[in-house]
Structure formats: C-alpha cells, structure tokens
C-alpha cells in the first residue's frame, strides 16, 4: 500500500519521523505553508499566517533535534491557534474590528506550553466574532468555508481551527469552547475535538466570552493526536482562578484498552428528539459498533434536561454582556449585527435570573455525576443536523422549523455548565460526504477514559472513513 503524503500523516507518525531524522521540521513547515498559500484563499481558515516566525522556529527545531535534543511528540510539529489566544508579537484579533491592530506583549499560557514543547506555530485561525456563535460565518474577516463542501458552514466558533485541521493546513490546533465551540466545528468538519474538564487547561491570555463556561482544548485528525496535544496543554496555572490542581497525566495511557464489559449511557429522550433522521441513524449505527466491541448500551434519563439547557443559555448571555458592556456602549457599529444582537440580549437578564441559572448549574453537575456513576460514558449526537449552507439561519429538523443556531447548540452546552469533559469524534458520513459527529461525555477529570472509547471506535475504521485530505474535498476547485 502506498504511503500517504506527509500532510496526511497523524502527529504520532510525523513525530516519530522527525525524531528519527527521516524528515526535518523545516521540510514539514514548508509543506504546510505551501498548503496554506494554496487553500486558505478559498477556505479563509487563517487570519494571520506567521510565515517568517514559523520558518525561524522550524529551523531552531531542526538544529535542536540534529544535536540530539528532542523535546517530545510536538517538537517540530506545525500547529495553529484560534485567534482569541494571545501570541506575543503577533496580532490577536478576536475576529473583530475592535482588535484589528492588537498585538499582545505576552503569550497566553497555552501558547507558551506549545512553544516550550517545540511546536511550530504557523498562524492564527479565523473565528466567529468574539467566539460568540456556532455557525462560524460571522467574522470581521469573512466566513470560514467547510473543506468537505465549501458552500457549507464549518460550525463555530473555532471555525478556522477545524477547517485548517481537516484540510491539512496544520497538524493540530487549539480552540476554545463555551457552549460547544470546539466540538461543533469538529463535528461539522469531520475531525476530533476535546473540551476538557473545566480548569484542566489554563485560560490565561485567552479572550473571555463567559468566564465560568470558557474552556480551552485541542482539535486534531485522530484521537491519539488529540491526547498528545492535551498532554502538553493541561496543567495547573496559579494565575488562573479557575485552574484545578492535578498531577501530570498521560492521556494516551488507556488507548487500545478493551471496552468489553463497559457501559455506555444513551439518553432515552431529548438527545434524539428534533434530530435529522439521517444523523440519528448514523449515530445509532456507531453505537452498534460499540456493542460489537463488547460494550453494553444502557438507556438513561437525565432529569431536568430542558431547565439545564436554559440555564446554560442564561449564564452565557449574562456573562458575555458583562464582558462587552462598555464596548457595546462605545463602539456598537464595530460589531457584527448578529453578534451585537446576541450580546445585547444579555442586558435583559436580571441578576436573580443569573443566580438561579448558576444554581441550576450546580444541580446539573450533581445530576450528571449521578448518571455517570452508573455508566462509563454518555453518548449522543454532537449536532442535530448536517452542516448547513453559509449564512443560512433556519432549518427544518424532523418536520419542524428551527434556527440553525439552536440546532447546532442543542446538545453541547451541558458539558460547559457542568464542567465535565466532552469530545466529538467523526462517526459517519452523509451520502453527499458531510460528516456526522458522535459526542462522548464523561466524569470530571475523565479525559483518558473518553479517549479510550473514542480510540476504540476509531480503530474500527469507521470514524476516519473519508476523513483524509482526498480529492473529494471541495477546496481550491479540486
């Protein structure tokens, strides 16, 4: 069988080749930069390409590795960052007119961790303005286009990160997730996205949207790559008031371990209601794969699920308005019209509404903890629909009209409100080549277990079917 081109290699394979000096970081970086130059004008995945900086970093990596100083699996690997994550000396725009010329004086915590691990940062990814939107098509720099079909949206708000990873414009990325903003675009672009436990990854130097819900996490093409990224990103940060002390952990340690005898909780209501029937069918087929691997599917009920959904919505509206209140007053015209309207909706909430929503959030954590005491993971669709057309705002789902925004956020916000880890993995494809995502939710600090289940499915070959950088991708007309 012919070896795949380098740009299709997973980080795990590329890392070994770099370590063993079969290929140099300089060669790899040049391949990625050429790919960006070719495809980014169509996809619009990058706001800023750090060409000179990436070349200098790659040359440094090469010298270190030749000298026998290999820093680990990310050494020499080209990665990208969502453009709400500060990078010293390189502009960070938030996808907004307000920050067109903002150049941070210091790196974010996660940027420092990646640099210290030897990663090559090739650029900053486009984002839904201020990371506030699940569609990914409302940035000051224009919409990001889905590599699977450029007429479709990527999902958001980590839109450019998902598109860049899916199309081979980097080998992995770091995004943010406040209501699903890593998992939604990962599902829509057919890649792997992890929202870790709240406090697992530092948010220092990351532009806040809703501080009690904001998470930072990795996007990748494979499960193992995702775990390798989280190995570097996670850790306690005393500067972050939400950071949780935890011992260093190898998130790859359970990969390949059998799931025979494990129990997967499948909600009997809500998560399979108001869902595109074809999406639901492909998720159910994926669950059958788990059964074939020896796992048991157990129907579960999650009490008060509608109230929990509404509580998440209220928290994000209240906190995001508080974050933007002064800029909404002083520079309203610089906001995208849709983002501005969403932010101003938070002004209508009373403090008592917010406090009640936070109380429901505490209850929700208890409810999900109790359910997860009876099952190993919870499995649901990530999205209720396939990726819709760019700028489309309404969709018919299972015979009823709903907003695209509601259809895309229906299943993801629970993990943000509870703080429990959740990830999306590709689990099937439509007849027209659009991806379906399977969401796995787990216990607090249970990322390694989620990776175990995700990897087991991936190794059956179904999750990655059609996920390569092949000729069916509608980018640059090829």
pLDDT, tens digit, 9 for 90 and up, residues 342-369: 999 999 999 999 999 999 999 999 999 9
Angle at 384 between CA 475 and CA 423, to 5 degrees: 75
The question of whether 257 is a catalytic residue gets the answer: no
The question of whether 424 is a catalytic residue gets the answer: no
Domains recognised in the chain with CATH numbers: 6-458 (3.90.1300.10)
The catalytically annotated residue of 57, 181, 186, 424 is 181
**% the chain with pLDDT above 70:** 96
Structure-block tokens of residue 357: 């929503």
pLDDT in tens, 273-312: 999 999 999 999 999 999 999 999 999 999 999 999 999 9
pLDDT-derived band at 4, boundaries 50, 70, 90: confident
pLDDT-derived band at 247, boundaries 50, 70, 90: confident
Pairwise CA distance, residues 225 & 449, whole Å: 15
**In Å, what is the CA distance from 436 to each residue of 400, 432, 462?**
20, 12, 11
The catalytically annotated residue of 24, 82, 243, 320 is 82
Pairwise CA distance, residues 470 & 472, whole Å: 5
Q: Which string of DSSP letters, residue by residue, matches 23-40?
A: S-HHHHHHHHHHHHHHHH
The catalytically annotated residue of 24, 57, 108, 157 is 157
The question of whether 260 is a catalytic residue gets the answer: no
**Length of the chain measured in residues:** 478
Pairwise CA distance, residues 162 & 82, whole Å: 10
- CB atoms closer than 10 angstroms to residue 71: 16
């Amino acid at each position: 069988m012919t070896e795949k081109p380098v740009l299709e290699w997973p980080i795990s394979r590329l890392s070994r080749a770099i370590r063993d000096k079969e290929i140099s970081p300089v060669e790899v970086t040049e391949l990625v930069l050429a790919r960006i130059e070719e495809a980014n004008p169509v996809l619009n995945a990058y706001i800023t390409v750090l060409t000179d900086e990436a070349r200098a970093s790659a040359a440094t990596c090469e010298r270190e590795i030749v000298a026998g100083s290999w820093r680990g699996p990310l050494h020499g690997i080209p990665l990208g960052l969502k453009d709400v994550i500060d990078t010293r000396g390189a502009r960070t725009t938030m996808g907004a007119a307000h920050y067109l010329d903002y150049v941070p004086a210091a790196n974010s915590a996660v940027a420092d961790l990646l640099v210290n691990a030897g990663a090559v940062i090739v650029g900053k990814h486009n984002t839904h303005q201020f990371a506030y939107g699940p569609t990914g098509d409302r940035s000051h720099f224009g919409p990001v286009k889905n590599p699977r079909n450029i007429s479709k949206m990527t999902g958001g708000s980590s839109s450019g990160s998902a598109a860049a990873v899916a199309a081979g414009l980097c080998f992995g990325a770091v995004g943010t997730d406040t209501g699903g903003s890593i998992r939604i675009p990962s599902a829509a672009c057919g890649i792997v996205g992890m929202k870790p436990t709240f406090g697992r990854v530092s948010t220092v130097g990351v532009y806040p949207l809703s501080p009690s819900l904001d998470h930072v996490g990795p996007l990748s093409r494979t499960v193992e790559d995702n775990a390798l990224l989280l190995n570097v990103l996670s850790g306690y940060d005393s500067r972050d008031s939400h950071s949780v002390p935890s011992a260093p952990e190898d998130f790859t340690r359970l990969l390949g371990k059998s799931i025979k005898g494990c129990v997967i909780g499948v909600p009997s209501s809500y998560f399979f209601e108001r869902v595109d029937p074809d999406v639901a069918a492909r998720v159910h087929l994926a669950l059958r794969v788990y059964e074939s691997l020896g796992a048991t599917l157990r129907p579960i009920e999650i009490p008060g699920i509608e109230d929990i959904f509404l509580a998440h919505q209220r928290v994000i509206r209240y906190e995001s308005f508080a974050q933007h209140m002064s800029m909404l007053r002083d520079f309203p015209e610089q906001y995208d019209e849709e983002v501005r309207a969403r932010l101003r909706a938070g002004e209508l909430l009373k403090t008592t509404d917010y406090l009640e929503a936070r109380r429901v959030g505490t209850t929700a954590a208890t409810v999900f903890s109790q359910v997860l005491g009876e099952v190993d993971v919870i499995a649901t669709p990530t999205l209720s629909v396939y990726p819709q057309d760019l700028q489309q705002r309404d969709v018919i789902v299972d015979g009823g009209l709903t907003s695209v925004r509601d259809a895309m956020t229906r299943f993801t916000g629970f993990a943000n409100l509870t703080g429990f880890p959740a990830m999306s993995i590709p689990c099937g494809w439509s007849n027209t080549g659009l991806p379906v995502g399977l969401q796995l939710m787990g216990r607090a600090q249970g990322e390694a277990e989620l990776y175990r289940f995700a990897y087991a499915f991936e190794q059956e070959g179904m999750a990655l079917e059609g996920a390569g950088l092949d000729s069916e991708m509608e980018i640059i007309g090829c």
